[in-house]
């Protein structure tokens, strides 16, 4: 029907296309001056403050009109949702635990999903640094830049009723990440009852009895007030909560070299601060909760053997499902190497 289009139609079309192009260019330029960062961390927490420090460095380096927006408290959804938002450009970055990071690169699960493997933070640091270059390369290939590594303490079990042995927990209902079907399947096969939820649902769920147990770091249990409804804590270092601040490669490439340098420096400092302070806050949080009624249960030698036996049963199920087999073996190798070289 080209013969029916009057001459002015082509002219109007050209003007409209030009306008759209100019609008798109303006939006892109404005978008390059904005970074939106999401996280589950509580507002005004150590982690939130470190993100704000990075924001100040980025704004100063980026110059006039730069906007760095931090969304704490899970306001952008759970960690799997934040990973999705980064992929479609609604967020440019996020501070995530392994739960969210593995939505980008599954092998990262090795640092958090192997219970009772790590005996100390020194072991965690050693293994992470050994794996870091290859891991960051994998993230880059997936379109993400890792700016900082951090952790948030050891996972311990907070429950409504006293529990010490593994079998004690079989009569209870566990909080489980909604995005972890493999973990839920393994738990069920061993006689445990996982209830998949988002982090924002934990408090009402424990208050109403929908769940009875929350695997959590002491800091989160204190900050979220979970311990009020689950006043019993099992003192075992089940697994470290490991995390990282990532931004999309597109957002990173839009920064000039000088801005990238400033952000790298600020992120390295923030990562070190988070690791140091978070580890201190584990015991501080426990002490604070004990003063407010928390009861701490520490397994004896026999009970601890039951927990280690459970972990040994879990490893073959985790290898190749929750953690890629090659990465699982690599982590085991690094741990053995560390222990072999440690003075007796």
Give the model's confidence band at 344: pLDDT under 50 very low, under 70 low, under 90 confident, else very high: low
Structure tokens at 124: 């965690």
DSSP 319: B
For residue 8, what pLDDT is reported?
Answer: 35
How far apart (Å, rounded) are the C-alpha atoms in residues 245 and 94?
6
Give the model's confidence band at 343: pLDDT under 50 very low, under 70 low, under 90 confident, else very high: low
- Other C-beta atoms closer than 10 Å to the C-beta of 4 total 6
For residue 200, what pLDDT is reported?
Answer: 85
Contact 266, 54 (CB under 8 A): yes
Give the model's confidence band at 32: pLDDT under 50 very low, under 70 low, under 90 confident, else very high: low
Identify which of 88, 98, 90 has the alpha carbon closest to the alpha carbon of residue 40.
Answer: 98
For residue 137, what pLDDT is reported?
Answer: 97
How far apart (Å, rounded) are the C-alpha atoms in residues 119 and 117?
6
Domains (range + CATH), the chain: 35-341 (3.40.190.170)
Q: What is the mean pLDDT of residues 267-273?
A: 94
Structure tokens at 100: 């969210």
Give the model's confidence band at 279: pLDDT under 50 very low, under 70 low, under 90 confident, else very high: confident
Q: What is the mean pLDDT of the chain?
A: 89
What's the full length of the chain, in residues? 344
pLDDT in tens, 214-257: 999 999 999 899 999 999 999 999 999 999 999 999 999 999 99
Find tokens 């073996």 and name the residue: 329
Q: Is the pLDDT of residue 157 over 70?
A: yes
| This prediction's pTM | 0.84
Q: Is the pLDDT of residue 4 over 60?
A: no
Cα 177–chain centre separation:
12
Q: Is the pLDDT of residue 6 over 60?
A: no
DSSP 2-50: GGGS-HHHHHHHHHHHHHHHHHHHHHHHHHHTEEEEEESSPTTSHHHHH
Q: What is the mean pLDDT of residues 56-64?
A: 91
Q: Is the pLDDT of residue 132 over 70?
A: yes
How far apart (Å, rounded) are the C-alpha atoms in residues 323 and 295?
33
Q: What is the mean pLDDT of residues 180-190?
A: 91
How far apart (Å, rounded) are the C-alpha atoms in residues 155 and 215?
6
Identify which of 81, 86, 69 has the alpha carbon closest to the alpha carbon of residue 142.
Answer: 86
For residue 1, what pLDDT is reported?
Answer: 34
Using DSSP's 3-state secondary structure scheme, residue 213 falls into strand
Structure tokens at 337: 């190497």
Contact 99, 180 (CB under 8 A): yes
DSSP 201: G
> In the chain, what is the straight-line distance between the N-terminal and C-terminal CA atoms, in Å?
87
pLDDT in tens, 83-120: 999 999 999 999 999 989 999 999 999 999 999 999 99
Q: What is the mean pLDDT of residues 172-194?
A: 91
For residue 2, what pLDDT is reported?
Answer: 33
Q: Report the run of H or E that residue 306 belongs to, with start and end.
A: helix 301-318
């Amino acid at each position: 029907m080209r013969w029916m289009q009057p001459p002015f139609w082509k002219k109007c079309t050209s003007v409209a296309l030009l306008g759209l192009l100019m609008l798109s260019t303006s939006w892109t330029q404005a978008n390059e001056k904005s970074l939106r960062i999401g996280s589950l961390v509580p507002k005004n927490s150590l982690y939130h403050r470190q993100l704000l420090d990075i924001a100040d460095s980025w704004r100063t380096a980026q110059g006039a009109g730069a906007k760095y927006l931090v969304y704490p408290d899970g306001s952008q959804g759970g960690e799997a949702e934040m990973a999705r938002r980064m992929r479609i450009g609604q967020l440019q970055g996020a501070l995530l635990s392994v739960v969210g990071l593995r939505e980008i690169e599954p092998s990262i699960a090795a640092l958090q999903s192997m219970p009772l493997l790590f005996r100390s933070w020194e072991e965690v640091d050693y293994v992470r640094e050994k794996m870091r270059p290859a891991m960051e390369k994998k993230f880059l290939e997936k379109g993400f830049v890792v700016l900082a590594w951090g952790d948030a303490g050891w996972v311990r079990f907070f429950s409504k009723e006293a529990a010490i042995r593994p079998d004690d927990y079989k009569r209870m209902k566990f909080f489980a990440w909604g995005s972890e079907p493999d973990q839920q399947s393994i738990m069920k096969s061993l006689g445990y009852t996982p209830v998949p939820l988002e982090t924002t649902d934990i408090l009402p769920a424990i208050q109403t009895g929908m769940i009875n147990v929350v695997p959590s770091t002491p800091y989160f249990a204190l900050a979220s007030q979970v311990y009020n409804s689950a006043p019993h804590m099992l003192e075992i270092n089940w697994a470290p909560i490991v995390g990282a601040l990532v931004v999309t490669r597109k957002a990173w490439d839009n920064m000039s070299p000088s801005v990238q340098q400033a952000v790298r420096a600020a992120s390295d400092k923030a990562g070190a601060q988070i690791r140091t302070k978070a580890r201190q806050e584990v015991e501080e949080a426990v002490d604070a909760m004990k003063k407010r009624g928390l009861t701490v249960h520490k397994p004896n030698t026999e009970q601890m053997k039951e927990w280690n036996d459970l972990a040994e049963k879990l490893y073959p199920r985790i290898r190749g499902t929750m953690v890629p087999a090659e990465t699982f073996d690599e982590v085991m190798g690094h741990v053995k190497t560390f222990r072999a070289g440690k003075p007796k």
